Structure 1
Amino acid sequence: MAQRFHSYHDFYRYYLLEHQDPRCRRLHYLGSLLVLGLVLDMSLRGDWQHWWWLPLAGYGCAWLGHFLFERNRPATLRYPFYSFVSDWIMLKDWLTNQLDHKLTQAKANAAAQADGRSAP
């Protein structure tokens, strides 16, 4: 059964906890950057006949990271829209050096909830 979230912020904390292995995150970044590169290439050439490469590149890399490193089920299967958005936000957080801080906060929040304390 799918977990319920009170806000997108709560979901993003969950999402980050599902992506703790840096190798998995690197594969997510690779997939997202491949998608951007493919969109740019297809746009410049005006050739969209290989559009199906977009989900294959993006999700293929990301899911490989989950199966090989995290050993968990990709959140996309349960929360497709939130997960799609979170892939891009995680990439932005990594590129802007905010990801380590947000991961630390997500872990602290999870620990506080497990101990029955209020979230930080």
Structure 2
Amino acid sequence: MARTITNFADFWLYYLREHSRPATRALHYIGTSIVVALAIYAVMTERWLLLLAIPVAGYFFAWVGHFGIEKNRPATFTYPLWSLAADFKMWGLWLTGRLSPELTRAGVILK
């Protein structure tokens, strides 16, 4: 049985290793960007039903990456809240150009 992760710092490194392929991360960036855009648009236009599309947009792209590219089980099944936080952290670091050192620290080989 796999060990249980008990803190976010350890989970973060695990999360990055589970997203080792650039295409998997790219799909996450697409999904997370759509999630943010939908949330902003829904709030600005008061079209609250659009908020229902957020999980679909976020998970669709992520799961395509995990099942189709990475060939692993999404971390959200075991650690849903940490996975959500890590996804936004990865997206933010990618947007600001600061993700590479974190990937290296997690042992992900950059291509």
- Taking structure 1 as the reference length, the TM-score comes to 0.84
Deviations 1:75-100 (A, max 9, x none): 00011010010000000111122211
Would you say the 8 A contact 2:28–2:65 is kept in 1? yes
**Secondary structure of the structure 2 residue equivalent to 1:107:** coil
Task: Check whether the contact 2:23–2:69 (CA below 8 A) recurs between aligned residues.
Answer: yes
2:17 maps to: 17
Partner Cα separation in structure 2 for residue 4 and residue 42 of structure 1: 37
How many pairs does the alignment contain?
Answer: 108
SS in structure 2 of the partner of residue 50 of structure 1: helix
1:43 is displaced (CA, Å) by: 1.1
- Residue 92 in 1 paired to residue 92 in 2? yes
In the alignment, which residue of structure 1 is the partner of 2:78?
78
- Checking the alignment, whether the CA contact within 8 Å between 1:2 and 1:78 is kept in structure 2 is no
User: Higher relative contact order by CA 8 Å / sep ≥ 6: 1 or 2?
Assistant: 2
Instruction: Give 1:25 shift.
Output: 0.3
The alignment's TM-score, normalised by the length of structure 2, stands at 0.90
Code of the residue aligned with 1:52 in structure 2: it is: L
Matches within 5 A, 1:23-102: 23-102=23-102
Letter in 2 for 1:55: P
Gaps of 5+ in 1: 109-120
Instruction: Flag the structure with larger Rg.
Output: 1
> 5+ unaligned residues in a row in structure 2: which ranges?
none
Compute the RMSD of aligned alpha carbons: 1.4
- TM-fit CA distance, 1:6: 4.0
**In 1: Cα distance, 2:2 partner to 2:56 partner:** 25
State percent identity of aligned pairs.
42
1:13-45 CA-to-partner distances (Å, cap 9, x unmatched) read 000000001000011011110011111111111
1:109-120 correspondence runs (5 A) = none
Aligned residue identity for 1:90: M
